[in-house]
Chain A
Amino acid sequence: NAGVTQTPKFQVLKTGQSMTLQCAQDMNHEYMSWYRQDPGMGLRLIHYSVGAGITDQGEVPNGYNVSRSTTEDFPLRLLSAAPSQTSVYFCASSRRLASYNEQFFGPGTRLTVL
C-alpha cells in the first residue's frame, strides 16, 4: 500500500491564483481530513469527510473548498490564494470504527503564496 499520497510536494502561487491540492489513500479509509501546519500552532483542521459525498468544516475552513466524490480522493481547492494561506498542508485518513482517531498522514504540500 502507498498509504496517503499528496501532490504536489511544493507549490508557489501568486495572490489571487487558484489551485487544487491532491490527496489520495489506498487503505479504503472512510475518514479523510485536511490540516494546515504553521510554526508554533500545531496542526489545525480545515475540512474533513466521513465518507464519499459527505464533507464538513473544521477549525479554519475559510478560503478552502473540498469535495469527496470517491472513497480514495479528497482534493482541497484554494479559489483565490492569499499570503495568509502560506503553510504546510497535510492530508490524513483513518478507519471509521474503534481506531477512528488514529489518523495516517501524507507527506505534506508546502505552499507559498506571494
Chain B
Amino acid sequence: GQQLNQSPQSMFIQEGEDVSMNCTSSSIFNTWLWYKQDPGEGPVLLIALYKAGELTSNGRLTAQFGITRKDSFLNISASIPSDVGIYFCAGPGGTSYGKLTFGQGTILTVHP
C-alpha cells in the first residue's frame, strides 16, 4: 500500500522561530492535505493542495505540492505557543473515495 514518510518526527523550537516539515510518498498523489491535531482533540484540516507546484497559504502557514507529486512541504512562520500539536500530512489512500493515508506526524513543541 501507499506509504507516507513525514519528517522530522518532532521539533522543539523557541517562540518566533520558523518551522519547516515535509512529507514524501512512495507513489504519486493528486491531492495533499495537512492536518493539525491539538492535544486531546481530533485532527483539523489546515491546507488542501490539488495541483503539482501549488503554493497555498493559511495565515502563517504555507504548504506546497511538490513538482514530482511525491512530496509536500509545510512551513509555519513566526511560531507562537498555540502552534503546539501534531501535524499530519495525508493523501488519497487508493482509488476509492473517502480513503486517506496519513503520515506518522510531526510533534511540534514551542517554548515561550
Tell me if chain B binds chain A: yes
Q: Which residues of A contact B (CB under 8 A)?
A: 4, 31-33, 35, 40-45, 48-50, 56, 58-59, 90, 92, 94, 96, 99-108
Q: Which residues of B contact A (CB under 8 A)?
A: 1, 4, 6, 9, 31, 33, 35, 40-45, 48, 88, 90-93, 96-105
Whether B1 pairs with A59 at a CB distance below 8 angstroms is yes
Q: Which residues of B contact A90 (CB under 8 A)?
A: 42-43
User: Which residue of chain B lies nearest to A48 when distances are taken between CB atoms in the complex?
Assistant: B98
Q: Decide if the interface of chain A is mainly helix, strand, loop or mixed.
A: strand
Whether A56 pairs with B41 at a CB distance below 8 angstroms is no
Whether B45 pairs with A59 at a CB distance below 8 angstroms is no
13 A-B pairs in the complex with CB atoms less than 8 angstroms apart: A31-B98, A33-B100, A42-B4, A42-B105, A43-B100, A44-B102, A45-B93, A58-B93, A94-B98, A101-B92, A101-B98, A101-B100, A108-B41
